[in-house]
């Protein structure tokens, strides 16, 4: 085993010149996206960029995010119950300083990339060492990191990581990542709709009829800037009504994203009577279409089935751009299942720096994780 080392940077301008070459397989680790985070990350987030070397040669890159939950306006306002109150109290008082190795803003295995194959023993060791060094960085500022989480690993990776430095950590599985694998025979939206059983073709027709009168436009950077306040208001309505939040985007996040990532990032505006009533965003990540944040007017959503039509439109875009799959993320599982997405379980690992809490992290976490009951749909013939 050659000697591996790492260096942690706090600014994109400090990154090695060949960073993007190593990160070529994942746009979420390339400097253009990292610049988006640096300029317009949530106000309670601070990012760290980890360069991994083998004998002085850069072979790996990784991302870490520190979240200060004390700065959060709300953990989410949808669920009003005693369990939610207790959960929020515990997070505020015992997990307010949280360090993520990976990207807490998106779903998927986007925490690291390597230009050559290394072992899971080496990966687990370098990630754990990085977390400890960043924790020490905050300790010097009299900030104690409560919770450290390594997020979003597909099953084959989590199984391997558990054999090494992650063996003593608590492994958790939250809601699945909903992924739509696009059939190579689907050349157009009509091919996709034709693959539905009658029940789900009828669902599409009903939603499409409700959508009448709404126009969709791929907004330019200037148009995003001009509509920035409305876009943020639509996003914020959806975000604050989620069951649980650890951050809220800054108002300039979408314009910054468009400026930095250009044609890879698209924001589609939905207009009714020339008024912006909704939007959705996507990011082209090689042959994968990553769905990103969205927002909508709740009244229009209810009357025009706006969200379902957004899902159909994202799927159509993925087909037209010959993507292999669409990552739809962890929310609204059942409706995403109804358009063909399937659940893919992902694991995370975490530990608490209080030994007593860490000892009982399993029962504590299981009581805090919001329960989600839903039915898998089978829309295709």
Is 376 a domain residue? Answer: no
CA distance 29 to 241: 29
Token pair, residue 229, equals: 């306040």
Query: Do 122 and 203 fall within a single domain?
Result: no
CATH number, domain with residue 52: 3.40.630.30
Query: Do 200 and 132 fall within a single domain?
Result: no
Q: How far, rounded to the nearest angstrom, does the alpha carbon of residue 238 sit from its chain's CA centroid?
A: 15
Query: Do 254 and 169 fall within a single domain?
Result: no
Is 163 a domain residue? Answer: yes
Query: Do 15 and 119 fall within a single domain?
Result: yes
Query: Do 339 and 202 fall within a single domain?
Result: yes
pLDDT tier at 170, thresholds 50, 70, 90? very high
pLDDT tens for 307-366 read 999 999 999 999 999 999 999 999 899 999 999 999 999 999 999 999 998 998 888 877
Q: Report in angstroms the alpha-carbon separations of 179 from 107, 195, 282, 335.
A: 10, 17, 14, 12
Indicate the number of domains in the chain: 2
Is 375 a domain residue? Answer: no
Query: Do 118 and 153 fall within a single domain?
Result: yes
Query: Do 133 and 263 fall within a single domain?
Result: no
Helix (H) or strand (E) holding 217: strand 214-218
CA distance 30 to 21: 9
Query: Do 334 and 217 fall within a single domain?
Result: yes
Is 113 a domain residue? Answer: yes
What is the pTM for the complete model shown?
A: 0.91
pLDDT tier at 71, thresholds 50, 70, 90? confident
Query: Do 350 and 210 fall within a single domain?
Result: no
Q: CA geometry: angle at 129 spanning 125 and 130, to 5°?
A: 115
Residues 6 or more apart in contact with residue 335 via CB below 8 angstroms: 307, 308, 311
Q: What is the mean pLDDT of residues 270-295?
A: 97
Q: What is the pLDDT of residue 372?
A: 73
State which residues form the domain around 286: 178-343
Mean per-residue pLDDT of the chain: 92
Query: Do 192 and 120 fall within a single domain?
Result: no
Query: Do 284 and 354 fall within a single domain?
Result: no
Query: Do 38 and 168 fall within a single domain?
Result: yes
């Amino acid at each position: 085993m050659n000697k591996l080392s790492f260096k942690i940077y706090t600014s994109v301008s400090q990154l090695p010149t060949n960073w993007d070459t190593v990160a070529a397989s994942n746009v979420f680790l390339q400097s253009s996206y990292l610049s988006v985070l640096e300029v317009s990350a949530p106000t309670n987030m601070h990012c760290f960029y980890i360069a991994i070397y083998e004998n002085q040669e850069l072979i790996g890159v990784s991302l870490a995010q520190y979240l200060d939950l004390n700065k959060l306006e709300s953990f989410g306002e949808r669920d009003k119950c005693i369990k939610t109150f207790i959960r929020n109290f515990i997070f505020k008082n015992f997990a307010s300083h949280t360090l993520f190795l990976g990207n807490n803003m998106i779903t998927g295995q986007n925490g690291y990339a390597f230009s050559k194959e290394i072992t899971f023993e080496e990966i687990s060791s370098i990630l754990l060492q990085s977390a400890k060094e960043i924790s020490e960085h905050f300790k010097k500022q009299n900030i104690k990191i409560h919770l450290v989480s390594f997020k979003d690993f597909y099953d084959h990776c989590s199984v391997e990581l558990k054999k090494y430095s992650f063996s003593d950590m608590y492994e958790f599985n939250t809601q699945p990542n909903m992924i739509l694998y696009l059939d190579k025979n689907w050349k157009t939206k009509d091919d996709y709709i034709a693959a539905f059983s009658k029940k789900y073709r009828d669902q599409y027709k009903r939603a499409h009829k409700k959508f009448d009168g709404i126009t969709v436009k791929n907004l330019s950077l200037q148009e995003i800037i001009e509509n920035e306040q409305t876009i943020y208001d639509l996003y914020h309505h959806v975000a604050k009504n989620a069951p649980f939040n650890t951050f809220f985007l800054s108002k300039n996040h979408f314009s910054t994203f468009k400026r930095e990532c250009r044609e890879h990032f698209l924001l589609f505006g939905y207009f009714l009577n020339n008024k912006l009533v909704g939007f959705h965003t996507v990011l082209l990540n090689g042959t994968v279409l990553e769905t990103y944040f969205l927002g909508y007017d709740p009244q229009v959503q209810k009357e025009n089935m706006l969200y379902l039509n957004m899902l159909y439109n994202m799927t159509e875009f993925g087909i037209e751009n010959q993507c292999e799959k669409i990552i739809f993320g962890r929310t609204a599982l059942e409706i995403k299942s109804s358009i063909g997405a399937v659940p893919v379980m992902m694991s995370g690992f975490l530990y608490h720096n209080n030994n007593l809490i860490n000892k009982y992290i399993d029962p504590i976490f299981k009581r805090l994780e919001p329960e989600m009951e839903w039915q898998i749909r089978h829309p295709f013939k």
